[in-house]
Amino acid sequence: MPTMNMLQAINNALDIAMGEDDKVLCFGEDVGSFGGVFRATSHLQEKYGRARCFNTPLVEQGIIGFANGLAAQGSVPVAEIQFADYIFPAFDQIVNETAKFRYRSGDLFNVGGLTIRAPYGGGISGGLYHSQSPEAYFAHTPGLKIVVPRDPYQAKGLLLAAIRDPDPVLFFEPKRLYRAAVGEVPEEDYQLPIGEAEVTKEGSDVTLVGWGAQMEVIERAVELAEKDGISCEVIDLRSLLPWDQETVAESVLKTGRLVITHEAPRTGGFAGEIAAAIQERCFLYLESPIARVTGLDTPFPLTLEKEYLPDHLKIVEAIRESVNF
């Protein structure tokens, strides 16, 4: 099986989707001949022509408005937002339009073909505006699906699933791992399920839940915790909307403890939703409070980025506290 980094896996997924279906289009700022500032769309214009892979003017609300129209028409747009930090000018098009298109028309029209890709997350010295993790802003929006892959294999399978999914999907890519995460990725077409979490490690004392780049951080924390003799169960949520309550609840019913982590600020972050839902479903089985290990309730800093981030040491401390409660 070939080895790819995450960008190559994403590029490969786009290539397969465009090769298979003429209706698939890729566009966004610098996406055309240059192949995107991260090069996720490299060579796609060469291969499929300027009509199907192109630069747009610099206007995110226009990119998503245009993409909504294309999807309503029956095309399968894959729109790139250059950084997740710059998705907010398109917020109205996404939250009021994309998400509500099918519902408001009674399914006369829908934009199910739409996929929006955006690199998210910190750890790259990006400061306030090249580091944000905005998933929770969208997770409050019925009608959207939200997917975050953790490694190249997941990225390819989930992106192909997202493009073909009958609903609009926001696909947030952990840019810190674009080149850092390397792994075996099948050459051929495959899909991974949207809406299903994955138990990446079984254990009995505490459940860890995360997504995207945090999965690697959790892994490091779990290594430390297991040295202490704490048996950890690890769940990659993969989809935040809809999210797989069953898998998480089942695990917590077993372990009695839950630690959730994300990079975004704590207040209003998606860990709050998970905690609220799980305390409701697993109330009598919880042996300690559900813990959240998150970014601080501040904009994303630069010089003190390491201090801000929910790293493996903060997670392992939360695990210990949870187990020793």
Partner 1 sequence: MTTTADIHEPTFLAGDEFSIPTFRLLQQDGTLHEGAKAPELDQEQALAIYRAMVATRVLDERMLAAQRQGRLSFYMQCTGEEAAVIGATAALDDADMIMAQYREQGALIYRGFTFDEFMNQLFGNELDYGKGRQMPIHYGSRKLHYMTISSPLATQIPQATGYAYGQKLAGDGQCTTVFFGEGAASEGDFHAALNMAAVHEVPVIFFCRNNGYAISTPSIEQFAADGVAPRAFGYRMHVIRVDGNDILAVYAATREARRIAVEHNQPVLIEAMSYRLAAHSSSDDPSGYRSKKEEEAWREKDPILRMQRWLGDLGWWSDDEEKALQESLRREVLETMKRAEKRPPPPLDSLVTDVYADVTPELQRQLDALKRHIRQYPEAYPKGARALDPDVQADATAAKGEK
Interface region with ligand TPP, contact rule CB under 6 A, candidates 81-89, 147-155, 216-224, 226-234? 81-89
Q: How far is the CB of 200 from a copy of itself (least distance, A)?
A: 23
Select from a copy of itself, partner 1, ligand TPP, none the partner in contact with residue 235, using the beta carbon and a kind-dependent cut-off of 5 to 8 Å: none
Q: How far is the CB of 166 from partner 1 (least distance, A)?
A: 4
> Active-site residue 60, yes or no?
yes
Q: Choose between 76 and 185: whose C-beta lies nearer to partner 1.
A: 76
Catalytically annotated residue among 29, 97, 130, 135 = 130
Task: Measure CA 106 to chain center.
Answer: 29
CA dist., res. 91 & res. 108, Å (int)? 23
Q: Hey, is 207 helix, strand or coil?
A: strand
Buried b (16+ CB within 10 A) or exposed e, 244-258: beebbbbbbebbbbb
CA dist., res. 271 & res. 274, Å (int)? 5
Q: Which residues between 253 and 292 bind a copy of itself (CB under 8 A)?
A: 264-265, 267-273, 275-277, 279-281, 283, 286, 288-292
95 Cβ contact partners less than 8 Å away, ≥ 6 residues apart: 138, 141, 144
CA dist., res. 308 & res. 119, Å (int)? 19
> Active-site residue 173, yes or no?
no
Q: How far is the CB of 91 from ligand TPP (least distance, A)?
A: 12
Q: Does 49 bind a copy of itself (CB under 8 A)?
A: no
> What would the two tokens of residue 14 be?
């786009």
Both ends of the chain: CA-CA distance in Å? 45
**Residue 194 is which amino acid?**
I
Q: Does 313 bind ligand TPP (CB under 6 A)?
A: no
Backbone angles phi, psi at 143, to 5 degrees: 110, -20
> What would the two tokens of residue 104 be?
């408001």
Q: In the chain, which ranges are continuous DSSP H helix? A: 6-20, 44-48, 60-73, 91-92, 101-104, 135-139, 152-164, 214-227, 245-255, 270-281, 305-308, 312-323
Residue linked to tokens 């739409």: 114
Of 20, 46, 92, 228, the one binding partner 1 by CB under 8 A = 92
63, 100 Cβ separation under 8 angstroms: no
Catalytically annotated residue among 29, 60, 135, 273 = 60
Q: Does 103 bind a copy of itself (CB under 8 A)?
A: yes
The strand pairing partners of 86, in sequence order, are none
Q: Hey, is 218 helix, strand or coil?
A: helix
Q: Does 302 bind ligand TPP (CB under 6 A)?
A: no
Q: Does 86 bind ligand TPP (CB under 6 A)?
A: yes
CA distances from 39 to 33, 175, 196, 204, 269 (A): 10, 12, 29, 42, 30
Q: How far is the CB of 97 from ligand TPP (least distance, A)?
A: 11
Of 14, 16, 53, 67, the one binding partner 1 by CB under 8 A = 67
Of 104, 107, 193, 246, the one binding a copy of itself by CB under 8 A = 104
CA distances from 197 to 169, 283, 288 (A): 16, 21, 23
Q: How far is the CB of 263 from a copy of itself (least distance, A)?
A: 13
**Residue 163 is which amino acid?**
I
Q: Does 97 bind ligand TPP (CB under 6 A)?
A: no
Size of the residue set binding ligand TPP (CB under 6 A) = 6
Q: Does 131 bind ligand TPP (CB under 6 A)?
A: no
Q: Choose between 138 and 153: whose C-beta lies nearer to a copy of itself.
A: 138
Q: Choose between 109 and 325: whose C-beta lies nearer to a copy of itself.
A: 325
Site of interaction with ligand TPP (CB under 6 A): 29, 58, 60, 82, 86, 89
Site of interaction with a copy of itself (CB under 8 A): 61, 85, 88-89, 91-92, 95-96, 99-100, 103-104, 128-129, 136-137, 139-143, 241, 264-265, 267-273, 275-277, 279-281, 283, 286, 288-292, 296-299, 325
